[in-house]
Structure 1
Amino acid sequence: MAESKNVRVTITSECTSCVRNGNEKHSGVSRYTTRKNRRNTPTRMELKKFCPYCYQHTIHKEIGK
């Protein structure tokens, strides 16, 4: 069998509020991992997820390459 070209890739998304407020005391930065189809979603993803450091739902943007 021929191998696939890895259409599905694993991405990491990071909280935008924690990164923006870098001068405040936070114990970390919220990060989530998920998979996306590279053909259907060629642009960077934005997901609304719960941030345990901000204690609210915030926008998490894709980071990486």
Structure 2
Amino acid sequence: MSKNKGARIVITLECSCRNLNSAYKRKKGIFRYTSTKNRKNTPHRLELMKFCPNCNQHEQFKEIK
């Protein structure tokens, strides 16, 4: 029997550079990470700096779901 995970939920982080048409992009498309967060400790949407392989640099990733 498995335990209930409680307040932890799965979230999706999406790159904020998806709307830019710059020369530094490697390829077109949207890159996403999945992670978990505690809903009680972090009720607002997360924003993290992570590496985007499409842009080939660190970008701001925002929570979408």
TM over 0.5: yes
Q: Distance in 1 between matches of 2:33 and 2:52?
A: 10
What is the aligned partner in structure 1 of residue 11 from structure 2? 11
Alignment coverage as a number of residue pairs: 60
Indicate the percent of aligned positions where both proteins have the same amino acid: 52
Post-superposition, which runs of at least 4 consecutive aligned residues in structure 1 deviate over 2 A? Answer: 3-6, 23-27
**Partner residue, 2:62:** 61
Cα RMSD over matched residues?
2.0
Quote the residue 1:49 is aligned against.
Answer: 50
TM-score by length of 1: 0.79
Q: Distance in 2 between matches of 1:5 and 1:46?
A: 23
TM-score normalised per structure 2: 0.79
Task: Return 5+ residue gaps in structure 2 as ranges.
Answer: none
Unmatched tracts of structure 1, length 5 or more: none
